[in-house]
Amino acid sequence: QVQLVESGGGLVQPGGSLRLSCAASGIIFSSYALRWFRQAPGKQREWVATINSGGTTNYADSVKGRFTISRDNAKNTVYLQMNSLKPEDTAVYYCNGFLPTRQYWGQGTQVTVSS
């Protein structure tokens, strides 16, 4: 059974930081590209960042320079370090494990940026 479980969300003030984690089980973790998406209320889910199996990273323009995606294959975990948070970063954040033939989603973790 495949599971992706996010954690680390919460309430933070503008300018603050959070680190999200996503622990995977039931997959050959090192083979997968890992992605973070987010969905704000009333908006479509949007892609945030990707780290492929070789460690190459890509970011949406809206988070470039503020967010960092990383992975620890020994722990089957992907991270999203979020710095300089803005109110517009408020959303439910989802991790995604991706291969060309399949993908899996976590249940999401809420991030709220507010004073």
pLDDT number for residue 95 = 97
Phi (first) and psi of residue 29, to 5 degrees: -55, -45
In the block, tokens 């969300």 appear at: 9
- The pLDDT of residue 75 is 97
Express each pLDDT in 42-100 by its tens digit: 999 999 999 999 999 999 999 999 999 999 999 999 999 999 999 999 999 999 999 99
For residue 12, give the H/E element and its range: strand 10-12
Q: What's the distance, Cα to Cα, between the start and end of the chain in Å? A: 40
Distances (CA, A) of 9 to 18, 23, 32, 52: 7, 14, 23, 23
The per-residue pLDDT for 46 is 98
Q: In terms of pLDDT, which residue wins out, 113 or 100?
A: 113
User: For residue 4, what are the contacts with CB-CB under 8 A and spacing of at least 6?
Assistant: 22, 23, 24, 95, 96, 97, 104, 105, 106, 107
